[in-house]
Amino acid sequence: MLNSFNSVLTIFIMIGTGFILTKKGFLNKETSKLFSKLVINVSLPLMMVVNIPMRFSKEKLFHSLNGIIIAFASIIATYLMAICISKILKIDEDKRGIFCTMITFANAIFIGLPVNISLFGEESATYVFLYYIANTSLFWTLGVNSIRNSNGKNRKKISGIESLKKIFSPPFMGFIVGIMLVLLEINLPAFIINPFQYIGNLTTPLSMFFIGTVIYSIDFKQIKLDRCSYFVLIGRFVIAPLIMFMCLKLFEFPNLLKNVFIIEAIMPIITQAALVSEFYEVNAEYAAIMVGFSTVLSILIIPIYSFLL
């Protein structure tokens, strides 16, 4: 309990620092974009290359790969549940796709990774990426298609190649390199490991500063929650982790994997949901507000689940 409290407090302090620095004018939207690019394209991939071989043996890795199946199963089950809820609530057709997508897909990497590392240590990073594989793959196929179909005009179309580029992002490629190093039992020399590790350590603080900047930039006066919004939040923070919990009961997994997957399931709405909604001209403003609000709300939800775990 004390470790969980300390970890959550650490997260709050880092986010609060980002918030204060933004308020004081040291950080702004431009710097937050820079932090995002640095984390996704540089520090996060390098962290994977170094941490996976350090934390996992070949045997332990094979034992954990079953977690990918559970991640896929839980996300698909959540999506099907979201569809049922949307039909029961009679959500408008032009809103149903983004409604189901926001309930189903979490911000698994940019927020999920630093939160899990803060709560459970760097060993949790590989389990985060097992979930990330399923979350990202399904979002850029199932999720994008769901949003696109909400616009009957279908003016635009994201090609399969573009979707693959999103799936095979720099963090995912770093994950693949780390896995290959474990499977091939290759040990990188110290002059590569040391700088990679220093740069990789930037991931958590930069991500937390980014969240602090996002929270500061939200105009809470513009947030007007309706019935649809409440059910999105209930689905994201209650239904999704509950489905994950039930799926994890099907197999025996390490406690760390179970904890990481449940925390991943309560992460805020995936940021790309707002970007794709804008691309297809489907309730983009509503999606952006819900992404921002769910990010703020997750800061209050995470401590509750961390104490329960």
pLDDT band per the 50, 70, 90 thresholds, residue 143: confident
Torsion angle, alpha carbons of 210, 215, 216, 217, to 10: 90
Beta strand residue intervals within 90-224, DSSP E: none
Phi, psi of 143 (to 5 degrees): -65, -50
CB atoms within 10 A of CB 303: 17
With beta carbons less than 8 A apart as the criterion, state whether 228 and 91 touch: yes
Q: What is the pTM of this model?
A: 0.79
Poorest-pLDDT segment among 6-10, 62-66, 172-176, 255-259 = 6-10
pLDDT at 226: 82
- 106: helix, strand or coil: strand
With beta carbons less than 8 A apart as the criterion, state whether 150 and 97 touch: yes
Structure tokens at 135: 């979350």
With beta carbons less than 8 A apart as the criterion, state whether 146 and 20 touch: no
Query: Considering only CA atoms, which of 120, 117, 169 is closest in space to residue 140?
Result: 169
Q: Looking at the domain covering 42-204+227-308, what would its CATH class be?
A: mainly alpha
Please list, in sequence order, all residues whose beta carbon lies within 8 angstroms of the beta carbon of residue 159, skipping any fewer than 6 positions away. none
- 156 has a pLDDT exceeding 70: no
Structure tokens at 85: 């809820």
Average pLDDT estimate for 175-199: 90
pLDDT at 170: 83
- State the DSSP string of 143-163: IHHHHHHHSTT------HHHH
- 3 has a pLDDT exceeding 60: no
Structure tokens at 229: 């919004």
Average pLDDT estimate for 162-176: 74
Q: What percent of the chain has pLDDT over 70?
A: 91
Average pLDDT estimate for 22-44: 87
pLDDT band per the 50, 70, 90 thresholds, residue 7: low
